Structure 1
Amino acid sequence: MIPPDVRKITTATEAARARAFVAHLAASLGAPEVERARFLTALSAQLRESLGQGGAELTLTVQRPGQDKSVRVRAVVRPATPAPEQAPSWHLVLSCPGSMTQHPSLPAHPDATAPAEALLAADEETAAVLRRLDESENLLSLHREELHQTNQGVLALHAELDAAALTQQELLDAERVARGEAEKARRLLTFLANASAVVTASLDHEDIVRRLPELLIPEYASRVDVWLFDEDERAAGNSLHSAAAVAAARTGRPQHAGPHPAELPGADDLPPSALSPDRPLLCVPLTVRRSLGVLTLTAPENGFDADTSVMLLELARRIAIALDNALRFEHHRDTAEELQRAQLTDLPAADGLHLAARYLPATRGLNIGGDWYDAFFQPDGSLLTVIGDVTGHGLRAAVIMGQLRTALRAYAIEEASPARILTRLHRMLCHQQPNLYATAMIARFRPDDPQVTWAAAGHPPAVVRAPGGAVRVLDDKPGVMLGVPIPFEYADHTTEIEPGSTLVLYTDGLVERRSEGIDVGIELLAQTLAALHEPDLEDLDASAESLLKPLVHESERDDDVCLLLCRTAPLPTS
């Protein structure tokens, strides 16, 4: 440890010399310029403060190098006349990288140093500090510029992120809109497909019209009106419909009538209708090959939009096709039914025998079938009752039925035996109509003869009800169907019929059930026949209706039904 340097500071000159000495010492020990300037500035400030308080004692100590190889200069300033209330002594330490080997003791006091030299030395310290300050300012300016550039980059990045976020939001909005439009289009197409399937599934125009409100209300319309033209009706002269419907009928173009133009695709805009001033109307002509009518839709709460109106126009086109098909089918069906009924002759009146017949066409298809019944006299006075069924449906079956009926009547003039008549019919059908078959049953009644002669060709068995209510089935094995490509000779069968008995001839449409077979139907027919009361059989037409009711369902039928009742006169009461 070098002995400390202690000096009294009572004047400004002593303080300046002390400062110059400390500056010389710090410079000789290699203290850095900035740290040296800070140390000297702090020391000078403390010395000035001490001069105002009556002077001070400055103690300088140079400590040997420690573990970090640096020399430390320690300055302590104590008041010259300390008082109890004064602050403790001030001290400050300066680290210098210099070596003590070069300076084993404190340098001599530079008391003779000129004030100018000390001032210049102080300027050197100030210059060093200013140089460091300039370097710091340059570095700070550089950092400030870098920070500015960084901020500009951050701002640009934020702008890009904002633009990207805005673009992403716009894309999400566009995707949401596209998804909504796609979902709406899918929903409209699904409804169009389902509604088209409903309207095209029926061949009854009234049923089609009845289903439209169920399909369209309330989502696509609040009200549905269908105006179908009569054959000789002129649309322009009907004042019971809206002006828009009349305009649609006249022009053949869809019309939209509302308080504001809707500009719907394919539709003309008209003023609001007096029949619906609050809600718009969309009137679409139902046109295929001809004008069938007008479909008028009253708008739902949200009105008609472009996409929905396009779907409704397409649905109206399909409704028009379905109505046209239904009307044409109904016309052909009615014509065919009248044609077929024209071939069913009136039943003859015979002594001792009452006849009643019923014919019900199939409710599915064109209603043209091959079922028929007939009853006529032979030259010898016998009465032949016939029932038959040509396989299949359609015009060909009806034509073959007419041919068989005509041929059977012709053969009955020459042949008395039902079996011989069926044999000749079988040969004729095999020769003229191969691959077409028929069933038939002939029952022959002779005047005043209790026996009935009959023959069957693949036909369901007849049922007989005795006067007491007993029922039996004529289940003798029938011959093959007419037209089967094999030679066959039919045989006659004889059954005794008591007076007051009822013989029931029928076609398979009366007793055949898809899931149950024909035997169950025959059993039901026998039970129903047995349940009839004897007085009821006096009115044979009413008895025919009573037999049909439990056997023929009111729902749609796939096959025709023929029923022929033959009732012998009961014995006279004494």
Structure 2
Amino acid sequence: MIEADDSGADERLRRIEAVTDSTLSRLEVEDLFDELLARICGLLQVDTATILLLDQHAQQLVATAAKGLEEEVRQGFRVAVGQGFAGRVAQDKQPVVLEEVTPATVVNPLLHEKGIRSMLGVPMFAGTELVGVLHVGGLTPRRFNADDIRLLQLVADRASLASQARLGNIDRTAALALQRSLLPTRLPEAAGVDMAARYVPGHHTGIGGDWYDVFSLPTGWLGIVVGDVSGHGLPAAVVMGRLRSALRAYALECDDPADALTRLDHKIQHFEAGKLATVLYTLVSPDRTEMRVSLAGHLPPILATPGEPVDTVPLPVDLPLGIGRPKHRRSTSVEFPPGAVLVCYTDGLIERRNELIDVGLDRLRAAIHPGPAESVCVTVMTTLAVEQPVDDVALLAVRRHAPAG
């Protein structure tokens, strides 16, 4: 009897070692999934094994890797949480044993076509958050025991770690692609002005909800935008990209910045419900002597004019976008003297923990002097960006050229 117990313990140890082998950590995520599924099929003597990862937005499980049911992955099989066998595992967040597969207990016809008779499924977690489901199945009836459940849960935990690494890589890749496509690598050339900009992300993905934009309109006016979407990382960046594109479209139809921001407000309330954004939108006249500025909850720009004190432009500040309380938005005409520099920015540049925002504004004003836009950006960033920001930072400087001579 003792020898039998020792034999059982040895077998359990062998099975555990097979799915916790340190060499697995050296594999790419897709290869790791493939190897884990192959090993668990052998250890549990089952014919199929499938990993379905949770699409949080759609609340659906998506077939991501499989052994014996590769068609699920190729066909992009999805099942809603709460539906079918995998959906039940996800909903209950507990292991589920299915000793007899019937049309009433599974929704994927592939399981019937393959002749699956018995199934075992366990949830996949990242901390306390559900990230997917791992299930196995056999072509012959069988009873899964407690050891089988524990072993499959161990594999699910290993796969969960890999899936989070995979998502992190996807987020970083997507964020980098967004950054390259949405933030101008080089500002456009525009007659009568020179411009410079900076962007520093406060999130590890490399991008967030702050943005700046400059574009010339068919009328000769120059559009200048600095904005800040609530949130951080890739989700905020996605919304930012949509707002940036929408505002460009509205700018072609609206001569008044306040009108364009009113339309953008309707857009965010309808299509981006729950999101908030602050935006500064300025139109600079074709002769560069005048600016029309509208602020949607955004910090006013700073104007540095030769021979005059550097100060914040006195402008009315309307509600941020997405608040849901319609109110008339305003545009204000401001003179743009020769040699003057307009500095637009997001709050990440001046906000500090345990410090009033006015202190940061004073620090910013003191760092700005009339001069080339690039020199202004260098001085501002050297003075204010002395540590890694906790929030995204966007900075845009536009200087009007002084008349020759």
TM-score, normalised via structure 2 length: 0.58
> Counterpart in 2 of 1:389?
228
Change over 3 Å in CA distance of 1:287–1:558 after alignment to 2 = farther
> Counterpart in 2 of 1:514?
353
SS in structure 2 of the partner of residue 503 of structure 1:
strand
Q: Deviations over 1:337-382 (max 9, x none)?
A: 34223211342111111111111111x4433311111111122110
CA apart distance, 1:410 = 0.8
Change over 3 Å in CA distance of 1:421–1:324 after alignment to 2 = closer
Aligned equivalents of 1:505, 1:405: Cα separation in 2: 16
CA apart distance, 1:464 = 0.4
Aligned equivalents of 1:462, 1:383: Cα separation in 2: 16
CA apart distance, 1:470 = 2.2
CA apart distance, 1:520 = 1.3
Aligned pair 1:417/2:256, yes or no? yes
Cα contact 2:178–2:237 (8 A) shared by 1: no
Of 366, 378, 403, which residue of structure 2 is paired with 1:545?
Answer: 378
Aligned pair 1:572/2:381, yes or no? no
> Counterpart in 1 of 2:191?
351
| Greater displacement, 455-464 / 543-552 | 543-552
SS in structure 2 of the partner of residue 428 of structure 1:
helix
Spell out the pairing of 1:100-115 with structure 2 (5 A cutoff).
none
> Counterpart in 2 of 1:111?
none
Aligned equivalents of 1:469, 1:325: Cα separation in 2: 55
Report the aligned-residue RMSD.
Answer: 3.1
| Structure 1: segments with no counterpart, 5+ residues | 1-265, 267-284, 293-320
- Bigger-Rg structure (1/2): 1
Q: Deviations over 1:65-96 (max 9, x none)?
A: xxxxxxxxxxxxxxxxxxxxxxxxxxxxxxxx
Change over 3 Å in CA distance of 1:426–1:335 after alignment to 2 = closer
Aligned pair 1:479/2:312, yes or no? no
Aligned equivalents of 1:546, 1:326: Cα separation in 2: 38
> Counterpart in 2 of 1:107?
none
Aligned equivalents of 1:481, 1:518: Cα separation in 2: 18
What amino acid is aligned across from residue 551 of structure 1 in structure 2? L
Cα contact 1:337–1:361 (8 A) shared by 2: no
Cα contact 1:372–1:562 (8 A) shared by 2: yes
> Counterpart in 1 of 2:200?
360
Of 383, 390, 397, which residue of structure 2 is paired with 1:558?
Answer: 390
Aligned equivalents of 2:258, 2:398: Cα separation in 1: 20
> Counterpart in 1 of 2:32?
none
Cα contact 1:450–1:498 (8 A) shared by 2: yes
CA apart distance, 1:393 = 1.4
Aligned equivalents of 1:287, 1:366: Cα separation in 2: 28
Q: Deviations over 1:465-497 (max 9, x none)?
A: 012362010242310000111112210111112
Change over 3 Å in CA distance of 1:432–1:385 after alignment to 2 = same
> Counterpart in 2 of 1:4?
none
Change over 3 Å in CA distance of 1:410–1:515 after alignment to 2 = same
Identity rate, percent: 39
CA apart distance, 1:323 = 11
What amino acid is aligned across from residue 188 of structure 2 in structure 1? P
Change over 3 Å in CA distance of 1:357–1:432 after alignment to 2 = same
Change over 3 Å in CA distance of 1:514–1:323 after alignment to 2 = farther
Q: Deviations over 1:81-125 (max 9, x none)?
A: xxxxxxxxxxxxxxxxxxxxxxxxxxxxxxxxxxxxxxxxxxxxx
Cα contact 1:288–1:324 (8 A) shared by 2: no
Q: Deviations over 1:135-193 (max 9, x none)?
A: xxxxxxxxxxxxxxxxxxxxxxxxxxxxxxxxxxxxxxxxxxxxxxxxxxxxxxxxxxx
> Counterpart in 2 of 1:242?
none
Aligned equivalents of 2:324, 2:318: Cα separation in 1: 13
TM-score, normalised via structure 1 length: 0.42
> Counterpart in 2 of 1:205?
none
Spell out the pairing of 1:300-449 with structure 2 (5 A cutoff).
329=168, 332-333=171-172, 335-345=174-184, 346-362=186-202, 364-449=203-288
Change over 3 Å in CA distance of 1:426–1:328 after alignment to 2 = closer
> Counterpart in 2 of 1:231?
none
What amino acid is aligned across from residue 385 of structure 1 in structure 2? I
Change over 3 Å in CA distance of 1:543–1:330 after alignment to 2 = farther
Cα contact 1:378–1:416 (8 A) shared by 2: no
Cα contact 2:171–2:234 (8 A) shared by 1: no
Cα contact 1:453–1:493 (8 A) shared by 2: yes
Aligned equivalents of 1:477, 1:542: Cα separation in 2: 29
Between the two structures, name the one with larger relative contact order (CA 8 Å, sep ≥ 6): 2
What amino acid is aligned across from residue 345 of structure 2 in structure 1? Y
SS in structure 1 of the partner of residue 294 of structure 2:
strand
More helix by share: 1
Change over 3 Å in CA distance of 1:338–1:432 after alignment to 2 = closer
Change over 3 Å in CA distance of 1:365–1:479 after alignment to 2 = same
Aligned equivalents of 2:367, 2:308: Cα separation in 1: 11
Cα contact 2:222–2:285 (8 A) shared by 1: yes
